[in-house]
Structure 1
């Protein structure tokens, strides 16, 4: 288990320019690599076209999947990493887009199909800041999409301590793992009561509730990847497809396939994510 605790600090490419008015940073993040805590003068959209990112800001840590992004206002100390590796896209903006994102601090929001395409396109426009031409049109569309974005409630909290991060990394990779606080306490060298207390203090959730949230997070991720409902149920440790569908419907107010259809029509506004 100790190998899971080894993270490596990495740095941004040295040739990336500050946004004038927009810069897209493209970088592959290796498994258990991270950018140390830092601040900058511009706003940032944290996104990955593949892989899951871990973001720490404003005293909390959370995971975001490729159908989500994080809004980080200027001047906010934050760090970003990935325990499995990710294709990272960091959008820097000189201007605030307005809308709901302007009313608070760090926020996670759903990424629409249009915004996803715009982020991919923005990565091809480095060194061409013609605001009156194509670059400017892409930039204004990005701002329009961000202005329409709203924070979502389905955010997977992540603990701060190395031991509990090891636990969460393992469960993320093996969501069917049935071990509870006592078993994990023995694995990590503490009592089950201590582990339960520390886990709640760092995530705001019991291990049981966090595991339920994780399974929902992974279910959405696996639905996005095209896996069928039966395969997802087995991957997540449900006894049957029907028990998975019941759990999903209870949380999201629709079936997994209905969620997928709605998500295809409006990726930023799927049920249960507002």
Structure 2
């Protein structure tokens, strides 16, 4: 199945002070590479986004967002579909984001709630300045963000893209570098070296992080913990819970409790 391009609406105005873009991204759809003259916050209330920006390629979960500064060439899509929330901001919030380029950061419960609220009221007339106050609170939150390194980096070469898309579709696939090397026409050692060069992760670490991302999608779509563990290829529910806790610093059930009012 090929990826399909989403055409951006032609009548969206530059932010003054903030423009919201809210829409569902279907399976394997994406916005093609483009740039803006303003700041952008890329986020999904549910689902995982695939983001490519300034030579980087990565996936972000609903606990993460991407900051795209003006002039950065970027594209955004989703492998399995996502509820996309894009914020265009007229002002730079300052803080860490004013000193960095493309940045991935954790989304606090308060920032998530503010994004949800902004989406709910952004088309209504701002007669009493409420939307402006929400905007200022979002800027306040962005000044306090901390960049994170635990993103799911995505490769760029065709063979490794094929590998990663296969594992994303079937995270229970247990083939290692040697088996995948035979599939892709290279030695296991060459595959391991190229994979690390393109993602900064070993295939084993990448696969573990992938399963955490896919677990979030499964849990949000109604899977219970046992069913998610089986779908992801874990030998037992306890093995899944241990791996999820190691990656996310909480159990799957605790994670879903914190997400309950937003999914």
TM-score (normalizing by structure 1): 0.82
CA 1:249–1:127 in structure 2 vs 1: closer, same or farther (change >3 Å)? closer
Gaps of 5+ in 1: 268-274
Is 1:146 the counterpart of 2:142? The answer is yes
CA 1:235–1:131 in structure 2 vs 1: closer, same or farther (change >3 Å)? same
Equivalent position to 1:21, from 17, 24, 37: 17
Q: Is the 8 A contact 1:52 1:65 kept in 2?
A: yes
Is 1:180 the counterpart of 2:176? The answer is yes
Equivalent position to 1:42, from 22, 38, 45: 38
CA 1:251–1:110 in structure 2 vs 1: closer, same or farther (change >3 Å)? closer
- 1:123 match: secondary structure: helix
How big is the alpha-carbon RMSD for the aligned residues of Structure 1 and Structure 2?
2.8
Aligned pair count reads 261
Q: Is the 8 A contact 1:176 1:236 kept in 2?
A: yes
Superposed CA offset, 1:94-128 (max 9, x none): 01122333332222222233333332332344455
Query: Counterpart of 2:81?
Result: 85
CA 1:123–1:229 in structure 2 vs 1: closer, same or farther (change >3 Å)? closer
Is 1:231 the counterpart of 2:227? The answer is yes
Q: Is the 8 A contact 2:46 2:217 kept in 1?
A: no
- Higher mean C-alpha deviation, range 141-150 or range 91-100: 141-150
Question: Offset at 1:169?
Answer: 1.8
Equivalent position to 2:5, from 3, 9, 17: 9
Question: Offset at 1:90?
Answer: 1.1
Query: Counterpart of 1:196?
Result: 192
TM-score (normalizing by structure 2): 0.85
User: Equivalent residues in 2 for 1:1-274 (5 A)?
Assistant: 3=1, 6-126=2-122, 130=126, 133-222=129-218, 227-252=223-248, 255-257=251-253, 263=258
Q: Separation in 1 of the partners of 2:29 and 2:241?
A: 35
Question: Offset at 1:256?
Answer: 4.4
Question: Offset at 1:227?
Answer: 4.4
CA 1:260–1:52 in structure 2 vs 1: closer, same or farther (change >3 Å)? closer
Q: Is the 8 A contact 1:159 1:202 kept in 2?
A: yes
Q: Separation in 2 of the partners of 1:234 and 1:115?
A: 33
Q: Separation in 2 of the partners of 1:91 and 1:134?
A: 17
- 1:242 match: secondary structure: helix
Q: Separation in 2 of the partners of 1:190 and 1:124?
A: 51
Superposed CA offset, 1:5-55 (max 9, x none): x22333211111110110001233232222222221111010122321111
Q: Is the 8 A contact 1:35 1:80 kept in 2?
A: yes
- 1:233 match: secondary structure: helix
Superposed CA offset, 1:154-180 (max 9, x none): 211111123322221221222111111
Q: Separation in 2 of the partners of 1:8 and 1:216?
A: 26
Q: Separation in 1 of the partners of 2:170 and 2:197?
A: 23
Q: Separation in 2 of the partners of 1:10 and 1:234?
A: 33
Q: Separation in 2 of the partners of 1:29 and 1:177?
A: 26
CA 1:255–1:36 in structure 2 vs 1: closer, same or farther (change >3 Å)? closer
Q: Is the 8 A contact 1:154 1:217 kept in 2?
A: no
